[in-house]
Amino acid sequence: MPYIPHTHGQQQEMLSTIGVASIDDLFTDIAPELRPKSFDLPEGRSEMQVRSHLEKLAAKNNTNLTTFLGAGFYDHYIPSAIKAILSRSEFYTAYTPYQPEASQGTLQAIFEYQTAMCRLMDMDYANASLYDGGTAIYEAIMMAVRATKRKKIIVSECLSPIYRCMLDCYTTNLHLDLVTVPHKQGLTDIQALMDQIDEHTAAVVVQNPNFFGCINDFTSLFAKARENGALSIISVYALMQSVLKTPGQMGADIAVAEGQSLGLPLSFGGPYLGIMTCKGKLIRQMPGRIVGKTVDKDGREGYVLTLQAREQHIRRQKATSNICSNQSLCALQSLVYVSLLGPEGLKRTAHACIELAHYAAQKLTSINGITILNDQPFANEFTIRLPVSAYAIIDKLVPQGYVPGFPLGRYYQGMENCLLIACTEKRTKQDIGILVELMRGALE
């Protein structure tokens, strides 16, 4: 049998050491009436057969589409060195670093990851990762609820609707007061958010750039929250954070992000990376693993999991979160990515995306009937309004190999004609030229 090393002779030796005649004798504690009613699975296949089957399935997916899809998940270039490093099985076949002396590689990498995320966000502390950007927002909200002992959460409708659906799901039985503040033509309505803040407010939650692509400075909103004893939570686009005003500069208490843009493939939705950072005073409310620096018996520097009194394996039902496994290898991946590119490489990548998106916006709005949703500055993603349903355009363009963007009508009533368009450095002006021509043709 694959991956089982014992010869028949060895199995017999082991059985006789144990003092039983057969393997079946080892399972006598499972009574006959508990045995499977069926176990009707296919027979095993060779490695070559399984690979061939999966290659055929992979080929059924069309990854030759030129896509302008983003909506929080972006097709950035991934340098080859990342895969080389991530293929080191000392990293990927290890467990959570419970034995620090045998896990310094993982632990130091997490420490470096925590450092990188703090610097990217301008925040004090980072944890070792959460599952994804959406669960990071949920955990941030729960931090705020615990820290403030309040229950009102003000959420901008410009926060990703996917994440807002997740929040609805997670908070169903928690008796929280979740207030959603509508967007204004794709703009985050800062005044309306401010008006909602009161003495019951645990947190206000915004996104930058917002789901429609608009960039804001939330300094005044966060100040208002602070004056009222509420916390400010911001969800950001990790790669764009290399050029955009930081959560720290704006005065955020908790900054989270989906880390996929930092060197992770799209991979049909995961594994991704939940980045979580916070201000100093909140460290003991932080969920998940945290690595700290210390010394060994001889005074040599080393790293350990620390502040574990927050965690489920110590505190059980009183823990800050139930999280155990996180996305450690994905965190390493993002650390390698930011290390390979460095500050200048990240800036150039962000700049290239921003430049292309503005080029695309200019070209697309030169088409009769297409307008940009609002005048707010944007980075590499923007929303256009079409004279027809966005779905109608998608239906025409996808068969021609182009996904022009994400139809906002999927999540926003009344925005059926709106299309959210993202550009990454992997797109070219030529791709945009074709997109514009196809769009023009589709509208004729």
Partner 1 sequence: MKTIFAKSVPGRKGVWPEEPEGQITDFIPENLLRENLPALPEQSELDVVRHFTLLSRRNFGVDSNFYPLGSCTMKYNPKFMEDIANLSGFTDLHPLVPQLRGAGHYTQGALEVLYETEKLLCEITGMDAFTLQPLAGAHGELTGVMLMAAYHNYKGNKKTKIIVPDSAHGTNPASAAIAGYEVVSIESRDGIIDPQALKDALDDEVAGLMMTCPNTLGLFERHLREIVELVHSVDGLLYYDGANLNAILGKMRVGDVGFDVVHLNLHKTFGTPHGGGGPGSGPVGVNKKLEPFLPISRVVKLEDGQFFLDYDYPFSIGYIAPFYGNFGVILKAYAYILRLGREGLIRVSENAVLAANYLRKKLEDYLHIPYNRTCAHAMHEFVASAVKQAQKGVRALDIAKALLDKGHHAPTIYFPLIVKECLMIEPTETESKETLDQFVDDLIEILKIAEENPEAIQEAPVNTPVKRLDEVKAAREMILKEQDM
Give the footprint of partner 1 on residues 364-423 (CB under 8 A).
Answer: 377-379, 391, 394-395, 398, 403, 406-407, 410
Rule CB under 8 A: say whether 297 interacts with partner 1. yes
CA angle 155, 157, 161 (to 5 degrees): 105
H helices within 365-428, ranges in order? 390-397
Is the CA virtual torsion 11, 17, 22, 23 positive or negative? negative
Rule CB under 8 A: say whether 194 interacts with partner 1. no
Which region, judged by CB under 8 A, interacts with partner 1, from 146-154, 177-185, 237-245, 427-435?
A: 237-245
Residue selected from 8, 58, 149, 375 as contacting partner 1 according to rule CB under 8 A: 58
Rule CB under 8 A: say whether 253 interacts with partner 1. no
Residue selected from 315, 371, 388, 400 as contacting partner 1 according to rule CB under 8 A: 315
Q: At closest approach, how far in Å is the CB of 418 from partner 1?
A: 14
| C-alpha of 319 from chain center | 23
406, two tokens: 């994400």
34, two tokens: 């508990």
What residues numbered 133-192 form the site for partner 1, per CB under 8 A? 133-135, 142, 162-163, 165-166, 168-169, 172-175
Residue 318's contacts (CB-CB under 8 Å, 6 or more residues apart) are: none
Q: At closest approach, how far in Å is the CB of 369 from partner 1?
A: 21
Cross-strand bridge partners of residue 214: 378
Single-letter amino acid code for the residue at 247: P
List the x/- string, 94-123, binding to partner 1 by CB under 8 A: xxxxxxxxxxxxx-xxxxx-xxx-xxx-x-
Q: At closest approach, how far in Å is the CB of 153 from partner 1?
A: 16
Rule CB under 8 A: say whether 63 interacts with partner 1. yes
Residue selected from 189, 229, 355, 434 as contacting partner 1 according to rule CB under 8 A: 355
Closest CB to partner 1 among residues 196, 405: 405
Rule CB under 8 A: say whether 430 interacts with partner 1. no
Closest CB to partner 1 among residues 67, 232: 67
Alpha carbon distance 174, 186 (integer Å): 30
Residue selected from 10, 191, 220, 366 as contacting partner 1 according to rule CB under 8 A: 10
Residue 242's contacts (CB-CB under 8 Å, 6 or more residues apart) are: 120, 343, 346, 347, 349, 350
Asked whether the beta carbons of 379 and 207 are under 8 A apart, the reply is no
Q: At closest approach, how far in Å is the CB of 219 from partner 1?
A: 10
Q: 322, exposed or middle or buried, with CB in 10 Å at 0-12, 13-18, 19+?
A: exposed
176, two tokens: 């929280």
Closest CB to partner 1 among residues 6, 198: 6
Q: At closest approach, how far in Å is the CB of 401 from partner 1?
A: 10
Q: Which of 260, 222, 267 is nearest to 132 (CA)?
A: 260
What residues numbered 261-280 form the site for partner 1, per CB under 8 A? 265-272
Residue selected from 191, 220, 294, 371 as contacting partner 1 according to rule CB under 8 A: 294
Q: Which of 338, 274, 293, 272 is nearest to 116 (CA)?
A: 338
How many chain residues bind partner 1 (CB under 8 A)? 205
Q: How far is CA 439 from CA 43, 396, 400, 419, in A?
A: 50, 9, 11, 12
